[in-house]
Amino acid sequence: MKNESFKKGIKDGIPIGLGYLAVSFTFGMMSVSSGLSIWQAVLISLTNLTSAGQFAGLDIIVAGGSYWEMALTQLVINLRYCLMSFSLSQKMRRDEPWAHRYLVAFGITDEIFGVSASQEGKVSAFYNYGAMCMAIPGWTLGTLLGAISGSLLPDFIMSALGVAIYGMFLAVIISPAKKNKAVLLVVVAAMAVSTLFAVVPGLNKVSSGFVIIITTLVTAGGAAYLCPVKEDEVHES
Partner 1 sequence: MSHNVYIYILVMAGVTYLIRVLPITLAKKEIVNPYIKSFLYYVPYACLAAMTFPAILSATASRISAVAGFGAALIAAYKEKSLLTVALIACGAVFIVERIMAFL
- Within residues 77-106, the interface with partner 1 by CB under 8 A covers 78-90, 92, 98, 101-102, 104-106
- CB of 131 closer than 8 Å to CB of 115: yes
* Binding of residue 1 to partner 1 (CB under 8 A): no
Site string for partner 1, 175-214 (x = CB under 8 A): xxxx---xx--xxxxxx-xxx--xx--------x--xx--
C-alpha angle with apex 137: 148 to 113, nearest 5 degrees?
Answer: 130
Residues of this chain, 122-161, that bind partner 1 according to CB under 8 A: 155-156, 159-161
Residue 14 C-beta: closest distance to partner 1, Å: 6
3-state secondary structure of 22: helix
Query: Which one of residues 10, 171, 207, 210 is an interface residue with partner 1 (CB under 8 A)?
Result: 171
Measured CA to CA, the distance from residue 209 to residue 212 in angstroms comes to: 5
Residues of this chain, 45-74, that bind partner 1 according to CB under 8 A: 47-50, 53-54, 57, 60-62, 64, 66-67, 70-71, 74
Residue 62 C-beta: closest distance to partner 1, Å: 7
- Of the chain, the end-to-end C-alpha distance in Å amounts to 19
Q: CB-wise, 148 or 189, nearer to partner 1?
A: 189
Query: By C-alpha distance, which of 65, 43, 64 is closest to 54?
Result: 43
Residue 111, burial from CB neighbour count under 10 angstroms (0-12, 13-18, 19+): buried
Residue 141 C-beta: closest distance to partner 1, Å: 18
Residue 213 C-beta: closest distance to partner 1, Å: 9
- CB of 43 closer than 8 Å to CB of 147: no
- CB of 101 closer than 8 Å to CB of 109: no
- Contacts with partner 1 by CB under 8 A: the residue count is 108
Residue 154 C-beta: closest distance to partner 1, Å: 11
